[in-house]
Chains A and B, each alone.
Chain A
């Protein structure tokens, strides 16, 4: 039976050869062109990784693993250690998550479980807008609102009430780890909320209803049944938020104090990997200096790469679970 082409590339049984061969050539060209564009993505990504690796050759050979445990960053004596920046990056991210996770999950629960659909969608719309606000604007608000607030009220308040903890000692500059962490928390809450809300919504109704029919309160059903079901997805959203806070540059550099310091106190100024690269990249004279900064970039890249990968695995795993296991 004569059929027209449904499988690309198959030779037609009917139709004039010249017309169809022209069409096929058109298809081949289209395939080639689009392939080139798709391939360029891979090429560019490989090139980026290659440049980071090559560009950090000197300090990798000179310092080796010591790079990660040295505290000193001294361009005059050519001593470069990443520890203060890794510390700063992790501490600010830690503070951010400490604040954003409870708030974010709480809000997600509200949006997914309690709010009527229209309210939930409207609020979600606003939260997506919050995610779109650029980093430099958070920095602007950080410098003019958060920093004075911290310096005048919050830091002295914390010092007076919780000053016995090592986290809240030292002078109140307004800038520092805590401020950067707070600004980051505001930036990553939208990610936690939107992803968690989605995974919570994808939990099959039966789970909820089963719990309720067994006599649990709304909260117990949510907290003890629905949330654990969506646990991996929520973890995924946390990893996503973590990856975002590690790579954040502008908002952090404007409020962190820009001093490579390792200190238990959250009031202390510090520095993060992204922030020090932003400040010192254009002026790093000397190959070792510049390449040490590039090595920092490589470290950051690897960290976010691993975290993003984990996040995606976890989120996908949950959605599949949710849609697959509805029926038992």
Chain B
């Protein structure tokens, strides 16, 4: 009996070790913001190239930046571009640079769950900053009600939900708030992980969406697709031209169009509070963080091939998942930049 058990174990060990050795496994980690479309992309790419598996873990932009710098994953992903300090840290550690590749455009939307309110609310920058600073505490506060005449808002306490992990979505949100509110800029600042004045923390876009779905009178910020896929209400935000815009593909593309001309070489750009009558003010690119040198030729070629596919066929999946495609000019620039990966 013991001998049989022993052989079985040995057999399993060998099998598990040898199994699927043929596959090329590339590991990535990072932003939850684009996770719906990334998971779709990697799944579709795998169907086209059976031997290549790109395993992406949605753990938050902060973790993406950290792990790609440590070298424990092959590429990272973030909606908040790496700052100079982080770029330098990568360069110092590895001896070569890390490159940013925009993949899609998305929108961070103020999503809420107010019993009895099904209308799409209008949020002014002052209202949003006030809510997240903890100054606006009730739903029927003048700051909110003023922009929503005709909607009867209850006198309930607002439950703020934010991210508990290091998040690019947080970066986008706080980047916007820092631009529209001096108070926010001084008190809290912008970043992937900030010292929130109020609120509950959820892990990932998924966690925040889950919390909002289950918690009455809550408000939080998530990527558009998470609100749409889960049928929770999200509001319009007043842009820099004074119009209330509800996040959609047109609004996001309008926000991005202004930045195309001056797109820096490294693609790190912020498009929050962008000018334009129809621009959605809390839009952002999201980037893949790819090292400029790969030690494994197979991984390098697969990564480059994936990037090219992503910019061509991959873009066609974006709109059905409520992400906006990249502007053509940006794509052209990126294709040139892909050659920078050695």
Asked if A and B touch directly (CB within 8 angstroms), the answer is yes
Query: Chain A residues in contact with chain B, CB under 8 A?
Result: 72-77, 147-148, 151, 171, 173-175, 253, 257-259, 269, 271, 279-280, 282-286
Tell me whether A258 and B59 are in contact (CB under 8 A): no
Known: A75-B191, A174-B215. A285 touches B165 (CB 8 A): no
Which chain B residue has the least Cβ–Cβ distance from A290? B66
Knowing A76-B195, A259-B199, A259-B200, say if A283 contacts B63 (CB, 8 Å).
Answer: yes
Complex interface: chain B residues within 8 A of A286 (CB)? 85, 89
Contacts of A271 in B (CB 8 A): 164, 201
B230 within 8 A of A: no
Most buried by A among B69, B166, B201, B202: B201
Indicate the size class of the contact surface on chain B. Answer: 35 or more
Whether B225 sits at the interface, judged by CB under 8 Å, is no
Contact A72 B193 (CB under 8 A): no
- CB < 8 Å neighbour of A283 from B66, B85, B157, B215: B66
B196 adjacent to chain A (CB < 8 Å): yes
Q: Are A74 and B194 in contact (CB under 8 A)?
A: yes
The answer to whether B192 and A269 touch across the interface, beta carbons within 8 angstroms, is no
CB pair A279–B164 under 8 Å, yes or no, is yes
Chain A residues near B62 (CB, 8 Å)?
280, 283-285
Measured CA separation A13–B75 after assembly (Å):
71
Interchain CA distance A72-B193 in the complex, whole Å: 13
A110 CB to nearest chain B CB (Å): 37
Encoded as 1 (CB less than 8 Å from any A CB) or 0, chain B from 68 to 101 comes to 0100000000000000011001000000000000
Among B165, B191, B199, B215, which residue has its beta carbon within 8 angstroms of that of A279? B165
Decide: B201 and A259 in contact? CB cutoff 8 A.
Answer: yes
Give chain B residues whose Cβ lies under 8 Å from the Cβ of A171: 157, 159, 217
Interface of B with A (CB < 8 Å)?
Answer: 59-67, 69, 85-86, 89, 157, 159, 162, 164-166, 189-196, 199-203, 211, 214-215, 217
CA distance A74 to B195 in the complex (A): 5
With A148-B214, A279-B164, A285-B65 known to touch, is A257 a contact of B193 (CB < 8 Å)?
Answer: no
Chain B residues lying within 8 Å of A76, measured Cβ to Cβ, are 189-191, 193-195
Report the separation of the CA atoms of residues A151 and B157 in the bound assembly, to the nearest whole angstrom. 14
* Complex CA–CA separation, A227 to B256 (angstroms): 73
Report the minimal beta-carbon distance from A278 to chain B, rounded to whole angstroms.
9
A76-B189, A259-B201 known; A283 vs B214 contact (CB < 8 Å) = no
Q: Is the CB of A258 within 8 A of B200?
A: yes
Query: 11 A-B contacts, Cβ less than 8 Å apart?
Result: A74-B194, A75-B195, A77-B195, A147-B214, A174-B214, A259-B164, A280-B165, A282-B63, A283-B60, A283-B63, A283-B65
Interface of A is mostly: loop
In the complex with contacts A77-B189, A283-B66, A283-B193, A269-B201 CB distance below 8 A? yes
- In whole Å, how far is A210's beta carbon from the nearest beta carbon of chain B? 53
Name the distance in Å between A263's Cβ and chain B's nearest Cβ: 11
B162 to chain A, nearest CB (A): 8
A175 to B215, CA, bound (A): 9
Q: How far is B67's CA from A257's CA once the two chains are assembled, in angstroms?
A: 25
**Closest CB of chain A to B309's CB: distance in Å?**
28
Q: Which residues of A contact B165 (CB under 8 A)?
A: 279-280, 283
B-side contacts of A147, CB under 8 Å: 214
Residue of A77, A148, A282 near B67 (CB, 8 A) is A282
- Least distance between A236 CB and chain B CB atoms (Å): 35
Q: Would you give the shortest CB distance from A209 to chain B, in whole angstroms?
A: 50
Q: In the docked arrangement, what's the CA distance between A76 and B67, Å?
A: 19
Question: Which B residues are in CB contact (< 8 Å) with A279?
Answer: 164-165, 201, 203
Q: Report whether B65 and A173 are in contact in the complex, using a CB–CB cutoff of 8 Å.
A: no
Contacts of B86 in A (CB 8 A): 285
> Residue on A with the closest CB to B217?
A171
- Give the contacting residue for B59; candidates A72, A257, A283; CB below 8 A: A283
Residues of the A chain whose Cβ atoms lie less than 8 Å from the Cβ of B214: 147-148, 174
A173 touches B200 (CB 8 A): yes
A269 CB contacts on chain B under 8 angstroms = 199-201
CA distance A179 to B95 in the complex (A): 48
| Nearest chain A residue, comparing its CB with the CB of B166 | A283
| Chain B minimum-CB-distance residue to A73 | B195
Name the CB-closest residue of A to B61.
A283
In the complex, what's the smallest C-beta–C-beta distance from A253 to chain B, in angstroms? Answer: 8
Q: What residues on B are CB-neighbors of A282 within 8 Å? A: 59, 63, 66-67
